[in-house]
Structure 1
Amino acid sequence: MYRVLIRVVRVFAAITAVALASAVHAGDQPDSSNNKDLRDKLADAGYQFTLTYIGEGLANVTGGMRTGAIYTGRLDLGTTIDLEKVMGWTGATFHANMFQIHGDGLSRSYIGNLMLVSGVEALPSTRLYEFWIEQQLLDGRLAVRVGQQASDIEFIDSQYDDIFINSALGWPGITGINLPGGGPSPPLAVPGIRVKARLSDKITAYLALFDGSAAPPDADDAQIANANGLLFRVNDPPWWIGQLKYKFEIGESRLPATITGGGWYHMMSFPDQRFSADGLSLADPNSSGDPLWLRRNNGLFMVYEQLLARAAPGSDKGIAFFMRASVSPSDRNLVNAYVDGGFLFTGFSDAYPNDRFGVAATYARISDSARALDRDIQFFTGTPYPIRDYEAIFEITYQHEVTPNFSLQPVLQYIAHPGGGAVDPYDPTQTHRIKDGVMVGVRTIISY
């Protein structure tokens, strides 16, 4: 496995060397490019390189499983290559990036919540993430992407949610919780094919077919089973997702808005949340203990986003709002209903025009079948075992641009009913819920 990873790193190095040679050659030409820095010369030659480091110091100051603080970080190295400029392949683009993830996770070690307090939180690893080629056709109206890729950038997404730190405010909590390995989103991408079609100036259609799992079905933890992102699984039952996005404008100020609707269909089998294979409750001492497996899974979702007010006439900054909602069957999913939303404020300071302030909340409802299992546990054990109901997160954050390449972002989150109201693993009686938690912290972002 590590030998394969080393080979991938060598490919990155070879691409960099070729790009540098091309840039030096371009710099020898007697034109204005001599006055550009190396990065501009590389872009002109078709090579773009990115480096982003996110470092977080986060603390659970009250509630959760226990109080404490952690540091976690993720280095993201990426390249995007215009294959038309480099080798004459019209309309083609290559992209790859890799993560180096380190540090502890506040949710897994201290709070015990389902919707991780940070989208960076993951098991420590050096991992290949995305590795794909995209071909544009019909003058850019159709784009086909093939290779290892993620779904969270384009599907069930809002342009106004990227400031928030909680993982569910990136990739929605319902898909991150219900899909195998969390679905194709950080820190695990999977092989797939994505088709994007611009049907008109206002309507865009998306359809994707992904391998259904980033790790073998019997793996206890996909991040451990696919530690370096190199399994490239293609034989699992697939996951389909599609959506239609409609853009329009509101009022005399022509405020931009978008509404998106879609659904997904997973062809894998999923365990029943309540019943065993022999038809008894999983809480029944006489049951086999093996869950009843149900074929297929699905979900419906919608996204609405709108700029509510402009910071200045003609500006794309101001007060923006987004909301997302999704539902899935109760019998095979821990979460059967989900909603989130928030407000983003930008462009209101002349001194700091790129600073951003955000307020958002999420709500994930524990399915009826999972609740029924908790009631069964109460019945068979005779103890006041907690019945899970929901998990909700409230986040408030401010992102300050110190320099164009460095930002500082304090954050506060209130976590209601961690684990959906699950029993506290440190409670000796196993009858008390995990207490509501409060997280405070600071994220730093260095980019180049």
Structure 2
Amino acid sequence: MVFISVLITLFNPISSWRADADTPAIAPLPPATSTQPQQLQTVSKGTEQTIELSVLRIPTQQYLTSNWFGARDSFANHGITPNITFTQAISGNAFGGLSTSKVDWRYRLDATLTLDTQKLCGWKGGTAYVDFLNHGGQNPQNNLVGQLQAISAIDQSPDTRLDQLWYKQTLLHKKITLKFGRIDTTYDFDDPRDSLNFLNGSFGFAPAIFVFPSYPFSAWGGELTLQPASCFFIHVGLFDGNTSNTLPALNTTNPLAVQNPFGLFGIAEEGLSWHLPWHRLTGTFVAGQWYHSGHFDAYNEPPVNATEGFYGYVDQTLWRAGNKPAADCPRLGAFAEYAWANDRVSLITQNVVAGLDWHALIPGRPEDDCGIGETWADLSKYANTPRGYEAITEAFYNLQLTPWLGIQPDLQYVAAPGGGAAPDALVWTLQMEIAF
């Protein structure tokens, strides 16, 4: 009976029917004030009877495991926010690539803890964060397509590790922010707002930044952000340079190393934001530069001491309904990015990414997103690939079924996988995310 009740709740949480005086009826439920199930009630009104039925309202709660009998709220009031998130992706190849007879699956499991120091101990402006992750499954790059740019940002070899462990402190009314510890820089640098819902890894950060300390190799380091005005910021970071691309760290990278002989990675961003007068259409331009002091293998010459690159992107809201905050109303956003790296060191020497993201396109679906985008990678001439480039077109619809469950169907057309090492391919992916 409980299982049947849950199914009723999932597919029709408020059901009702009216009948003659001898037939009970299910009346609409009053607004839920608790996650606890209500008792079955029979209300008489003249000769008509109404039966009110309520079960656990799974679709409307924030997390799959609900409020832990009030424990979540109690933790939050004391500045403690634990979370568990599970992401599962399944991909297949319709034609071309390496294989059309396989289906690859992979997952990522994150267990995180966020501490608000003001609520926890009265220390204003402090945030501590820890993230343990486990990921596993197959990688479509090896089994299905042979592409260079990840079909999904979670595509990596199986592993379990401490991904992030950092402390952040804001000062002078958030005009200065300090952050130090083990950091995944994807969340802080090269981060166009309207590219966040795309699955392909190149929309997460430009692949030309081939030494970026990001998933699955976060890095120890520190960041400083200066924001003297709401429309301008400067953001710099310095990190341990031990990545899978440095030498002799290649294939022997220790992702937990604090000190190593493989150099340092430095990055800087300068950003300018604005809003257009009609409907307050917001926009951002960011210019970034990076430098790595390590030793790198080079094409047709001895290893190179240090390498560098740059990137820039623009993100602009093109339309939105009304004057509500962008997160609360339908909106259409666009973004474009260009990145460059040394072609004697990096296989991807130039990268162009652009796309559109439409939030709440369908009436009555305020949390859904859909988008279409293109990522183009120019490959080093010294690599001698058959076609010298790789281009991927992606289209997706992110369906937020409940606050804790999202499902995203995704299609990617891959032109010249691996620079033409394999035939053009069409890859489908179904990705699911659950917040426990």
TM-score, length-normalised on structure 1? Answer: 0.78
Offset, 1:62: 1.1
Specify whether residues 118 and 233 from structure 1 end up closer, same or farther in structure 2 by C-alpha distance, changes over 3 A only. farther
SS in 1 for 2:144: helix
Report the equivalent of 1:255: 281
Note the alpha carbon deviations across 1:240-275, whole angstroms, 9 max, x for none.
1001111101242221000011211111122222x2
- How do 1:348-427 residues align onto structure 2 when only pairs under 5 Å count? 348-370=361-383, 374=384, 387-422=386-421
Note the alpha carbon deviations across 1:148-198, whole angstroms, 9 max, x for none.
1011112111111111111111121212xx32xxx2111120101111111
- How do 1:245-394 residues align onto structure 2 when only pairs under 5 Å count? 245-273=271-299, 275-276=300-301, 292-316=302-326, 317-370=330-383, 374=384, 387-394=386-393
SS in 1 for 2:187: coil
**Within 2, Cα distance between the matches of 1:147 and 1:217?**
24
**Within 2, Cα distance between the matches of 1:333 and 1:35?**
49
Note the alpha carbon deviations across 1:324-361, whole angstroms, 9 max, x for none.
11112222221211110100011233321111111011
Offset, 1:102: 1.5
Letter in 1 for 2:134: Q
- How do 1:11-160 residues align onto structure 2 when only pairs under 5 Å count? 37-67=70-100, 68-160=102-194
Report the equivalent of 2:12: none
Is 1:218 the counterpart of 2:248? The answer is yes
Conserved 8 A contact 2:262-2:295: no
Offset, 1:208: 0.2
Offset, 1:315: 4.7
**Within 2, Cα distance between the matches of 1:330 and 1:219?**
20
**Within 2, Cα distance between the matches of 1:85 and 1:36?**
21
Offset, 1:35: 13
Between Structure 1 and Structure 2, the one with more helix by share is 1
How many correspondences in the alignment? 365
Report the equivalent of 1:10: none
- How do 1:428-447 residues align onto structure 2 when only pairs under 5 Å count? 434-447=422-435
**Within 2, Cα distance between the matches of 1:77 and 1:147?**
17
Report the equivalent of 2:230: 201
Conserved 8 A contact 1:311-1:319: no
Letter in 2 for 1:49: P
**Within 2, Cα distance between the matches of 1:149 and 1:348?**
34
**Within 1, Cα distance between the matches of 2:74 and 2:216?**
32
**Within 1, Cα distance between the matches of 2:271 and 2:413?**
32
Report the equivalent of 2:42: none
Specify whether residues 313 and 84 from structure 1 end up closer, same or farther in structure 2 by C-alpha distance, changes over 3 A only. closer
**Within 2, Cα distance between the matches of 1:214 and 1:362?**
24
Conserved 8 A contact 1:130-1:189: yes
Report the equivalent of 1:242: 268
**Within 2, Cα distance between the matches of 1:58 and 1:250?**
40
Offset, 1:217: 3.3
Note the alpha carbon deviations across 1:45-88, whole angstroms, 9 max, x for none.
01011211111111112111222211111111101112233234
Conserved 8 A contact 1:311-1:348: no
Specify whether residues 247 and 120 from structure 1 end up closer, same or farther in structure 2 by C-alpha distance, changes over 3 A only. same
Conserved 8 A contact 1:311-1:346: no
Letter in 2 for 1:213: N
Letter in 2 for 1:319: L
Report the equivalent of 1:187: 216
**Within 1, Cα distance between the matches of 2:103 and 2:295?**
38
Q: 1:167 aligns with which of 179, 184, 201?
A: 201
Q: How well do the aligned residues superpose, as a CA RMSD in angstroms? A: 2.0
**Within 2, Cα distance between the matches of 1:221 and 1:112?**
19
Conserved 8 A contact 2:355-2:374: yes
Letter in 1 for 2:157: L
SS in 2 for 1:213: coil
**Within 1, Cα distance between the matches of 2:128 and 2:278?**
41
**Within 2, Cα distance between the matches of 1:441 and 1:154?**
27
Structure 2: which 5+ runs fail to align?
Answer: 1-66
**Within 2, Cα distance between the matches of 1:173 and 1:135?**
30
Offset, 1:234: 5.1
Specify whether residues 35 and 156 from structure 1 end up closer, same or farther in structure 2 by C-alpha distance, changes over 3 A only. closer
Moved more, 206-215 or 113-122: 206-215
**Within 2, Cα distance between the matches of 1:320 and 1:260?**
16
Letter in 2 for 1:45: H
**Within 2, Cα distance between the matches of 1:94 and 1:217?**
33
Offset, 1:388: 4.0
SS in 2 for 1:152: helix
**Within 2, Cα distance between the matches of 1:94 and 1:256?**
30
**Within 1, Cα distance between the matches of 2:221 and 2:406?**
34
SS in 2 for 1:78: strand
TM-score, length-normalised on structure 2? Answer: 0.80
Letter in 2 for 1:440: W
Report the equivalent of 2:6: none
SS in 2 for 1:173: coil
Report the equivalent of 1:378: none
Offset, 1:37: 2.6
SS in 2 for 1:187: coil
**Within 2, Cα distance between the matches of 1:351 and 1:234?**
53
Letter in 1 for 2:263: P
**Within 2, Cα distance between the matches of 1:77 and 1:188?**
17
Letter in 2 for 1:131: L
Taking only the aligned residue pairs, the percentage that are identical comes to 26
Conserved 8 A contact 1:95-1:132: yes
